Amino acid sequence: MKETSTDYRHPQRPAPVRLYDTFAGQVPLARVSLDPEVLLAKARRAEGLQDFGPPDPAEPLAVLCRSLQAEAALTPTGRFVQQQRILAALRARLRLVAWRAAHPEVATHDVTAPVVISALQRTGTTLLHRLLAAHPDLRALRSWEALNPAPFPRPTWNGSDKRHAFARRAETVAKYLAPDFFAVHPVDAEAPEEDVILLDQALCSTLPEATIRTPTYAAWVEARDAEPAYRYLHDALQALSAQVGPARWVLKTPHHMEYLDTLLAVFPGARIVWTHRDPLVAVASFCSMVAHARGLVSDDIDPEGIGAHWSRKIGRMIDRALATRDQAPPGTFLDVRYDDLVQDPLGTVHALCDALDLPWSPDIEARIEAARARSPRHQHGKHVYRLADFALDPAMLAERFAPYRTRFVLSEGVSDRRPSSGSIRRS
């Protein structure tokens, strides 16, 4: 079985891309613009629309573009990828605002009380999301919807929705540029995806810092009021509910860990599903994921810097999430152990559905088992990672995360020992 590379300073990249980067970097005219005013104008011109709606994109886009240009050390390919990513987000936002204006009845759709999977990265959230999304009473955000929550103005020649083709192209390009990344976090145009992509359209998300070196923008996001971005998320989900029909949403992204108080204010009655894995393992795995993602757009990969940034960030995520949890109404949070989920996925999901008052039947079990079979472990290769690769000291991390590990019985030698099948803790 192919294993992912741990030579993070020398990212693997297709030969044609390396050739392009070599020559494009020598030609100033080949550099694509990351000027915020240029990007806003390009998006408006491409869509023939003017209104981005709230929150105002000018300030966050300016901070992001400065961070990209001064700190991200982008290759020419990386610069182009980031330009196109930002333009796609801006254009999606223009279309969403226009679509809602043309369909005022959208505002009547209820998107409160979703099921929200939010936990540290690399704790089984993707697997759990895909399994729960197979339940007929739940509805997940698909990749093609996340990238474009409003339809394109005109369908394809055969009447199909252009959003599917758009997402398939994005998947193909990402797989070509960074095959190792798919072994860490597979992306599928038709599969459930993180709603952080919608928050990113509001230009207030952790997505950039998880894929690029943007410390200035990351600090700016931490200091911002997150509510306007969560209002945008609400509006996007409301629009998607109107297009496909009402259903209870099952959402997922680690981003929410820092903003659970805001999420609960914008989505009253939400149930938070928190998956638990020893953070000493999760931190190493996620730092490796970040390094592979940065290798897609930069040749300047700093594993030590990644380790320092994300060990601090993950500590902040835990602290803020626990603070919200301790103030939340009883029953808001449900706990799932990573080892339970991996060793007995059906039993764990069954117990979780019981806790969420969702029905269970042989047919539902078969649907969830089929979803599990579609996402086998290591289907794109085996992900390998070590704390030492990121200059992280296990003893220091154990001390930093001791309260969390103790509270949820997570420590080396304990986290692999599984309690009774399907145990779900409510709090």
CATH number at residue 23: 3.40.50.300
CA distance 374 to 363: 17
Range of the domain at 248: 15-150+158-426
2 within domain boundaries: no
- Apex 358 CA angle, 354 and 362, nearest 5: 85
- Give pLDDT, residue 375: 72
Is the previous residue joined to 55 through a cis bond, with omega within 30 degrees of 0?
yes
3 within domain boundaries: no
How would you classify the pairing of strands 138-140 and 248-252?
parallel
1 within domain boundaries: no
104 within domain boundaries: yes
CA distance 15 to 13: 6
- Give pLDDT, residue 378: 53
313 within domain boundaries: yes
End-to-end CA distance of the chain: 41
8 within domain boundaries: no
The model carries a pTM of 0.92
- Around Cβ 53, how many Cβ atoms within 10 Å? 18
* Contact criterion met (CB below 8 Å) for 109 and 238: yes
Instruction: Give 255's contacts (C-beta < 8 A, 6+ positions apart).
Output: 118, 194, 196, 199, 205, 206, 207
CA distance 293 to 368: 30
Q: For the segment 377-405, what is each residue's pLDDT rounded down to a tens digit?
A: 655 567 778 999 999 999 999 999 999 99
CA distance 254 to 119: 5
Averages of pLDDT over each 10 residues, the chain, 427 residues:
82 87 68 93 97 96 98 94 96 98 93 94 93 96 96 78 92 82 77 96 96 96 97 97 88 97 97 95 91 91 96 96 96 95 95 96 96 72 84 95 89 39 61
Q: For the segment 261-276, what is each residue's pLDDT rounded down to a tens digit?
A: 999 999 999 999 999 9
DSSP, res 113: S
Percent of the chain scored above 70 by pLDDT? 92
329 within domain boundaries: yes
9 within domain boundaries: no
Number of domains composing the chain: 1
Q: For the segment 313-339, what is each residue's pLDDT rounded down to a tens digit?
A: 999 999 999 999 999 999 999 999 999
What are the φ and ψ backbone dihedral angles of 139, each rounded to 5 degrees? -135, 120
